[in-house]
Amino acid sequence: MLGKSCFRDIGCFSASEYNESARSIPLLPMSPDSMSPMFHMYTLEQRTIPRNYSYNATAAQLRYSTFNASLRTAFIVHGFQSGYSLWFWLIGHSLGGHTMGYAGKRLKNPRVARITALDPAGVGFHFKNTALRLDHSDAQIVDVIHTDAALSYTEGFGTADTLGHFDFYPNGGSWQPGCAVSDSVTNKLSSITSGEDITCSHSRACLIMNN
């Protein structure tokens, strides 16, 4: 997959040689058209049935929706599996936490109001370079909840690094009560065949925020 790929409205990506911004595996990303990412918009008028948009939705499509730019807007991004409003609150779990950081880096004038990262991923994000991960400079307020924190990718799915203005570590930030004790990602992955919930501690951040 070495080479270069360019996508309209997104930019170009190169995998011809290793560089830190490409992380440890310099593979080209899949095209947006092949992944077909969707945005599900919920509003006060549409609380249970969202209006769905593709990644290349037009401004005209949004104008004819129930979206109200004067109200607080939250973007929520799941883990693996544009407006410049001061009201925007970006929320992401796992990889989604860093995705919200990337969005915040681009929305600088003015910055988004808040980013909440729910146990942001540690695997592949143990970098000092803040351009490659979530950072407190990505929004006016960045708060982080760590529930599966680890000092290395072999010990857990989350990161123990302090990334925001406020970093919270419930129950120490690593193993969570009621979850199975596994001392490494390898052990967690080996638990798949046993039916054990390997993301119990990692997902606990979402429950903590909901409560």
Write down the catalytic residue from 93, 119, 161, 182. Answer: 119
User: How big is the chain, counted in residues?
Assistant: 211
Write down the catalytic residue from 93, 98, 136, 202. Answer: 202
C-beta neighbour count of 51 within 10 angstroms: 18
**3-class secondary structure, 155:** coil
Active-site residue, 197 included: no
Asked whether 141 and 113 are in contact (CB, 8 A), the reply is: yes
Q: Is the peptide bond before 29 cis (omega within 30 degrees of 0)?
A: no
For 125, half-sphere exposure in the C-beta direction (CA atoms, 13 angstrom radius) is 29
Write down the catalytic residue from 93, 94, 135, 146. Answer: 94
**3-class secondary structure, 186:** helix
Active-site residue, 183 included: no
Phi, psi of 190 (to 5 degrees): -70, -15
Active-site residue, 202 included: yes
- Residue positions annotated with a catalytic role: 94, 119, 202
